[in-house]
Amino acid sequence: MTTVDRADPELACPISPVVDIVFSRWTTPILWSLHTYGRQRFVELQRGIAHITPKVLTQRLRQLERDGLITRTYHAEVPPRVEYEISDLGRSLAPLFAHLAEWATSHLEEVERARREYDGD
């Protein structure tokens, strides 16, 4: 591996692009909510994800749709209705999320303890 190869984070760590796509601040809760509760309207997602602003939710939903992780269905009704649903590609992340949830249950207490020891608390 050359020095140039190591300078490229995607070559140094092949999961970097996945982390960038899936683990941004609001992406994970959106995908988790759609996977857990199924198809939802914008307002349902907003209510279920504390502290997310409508602007940020709109941006993240558009990005997730662009990445193919969710689908958006527009119903031409009065008033118009839009629903979001996790796609098959998004659903393929379920085992990864399950492993992370299991890891969190098993190890977050240890992480907190290590932080307290490090911080001298």
Show the domains of the chain with their CATH numbers: 3-119 (1.10.10.10)
Question: What phi and psi, each to the nearest 5 degrees, are found at residue 73?
Answer: -115, 120
For 100, half-sphere exposure in the C-beta direction (CA atoms, 13 angstrom radius) is 10
Task: Please give the pLDDT value at position 117.
Answer: 96
Of the pLDDT bands very low, low, confident and very high (cuts 50, 70, 90), residue 18 is confident
pLDDT at 1 over 60: no
Per-residue model confidence (pLDDT) at position 5: 57
pLDDT in tens, 24-66: 889 999 999 999 999 999 999 999 999 999 999 999 999 999 9
Q: Please name the residues in contact with 68: beta carbons below 8 A apart, sequence gap of 6 or more.
A: 87, 89, 90
Q: Which helix (H) or strand (E) holds 70?
A: strand 70-75
pLDDT at residue number 6: 60
Beta bridge partners of 72: 84
Q: What is the mean pLDDT of residues 20-24?
A: 85
Write down the pLDDT at residue 53.
95
pTM > 0.85: no
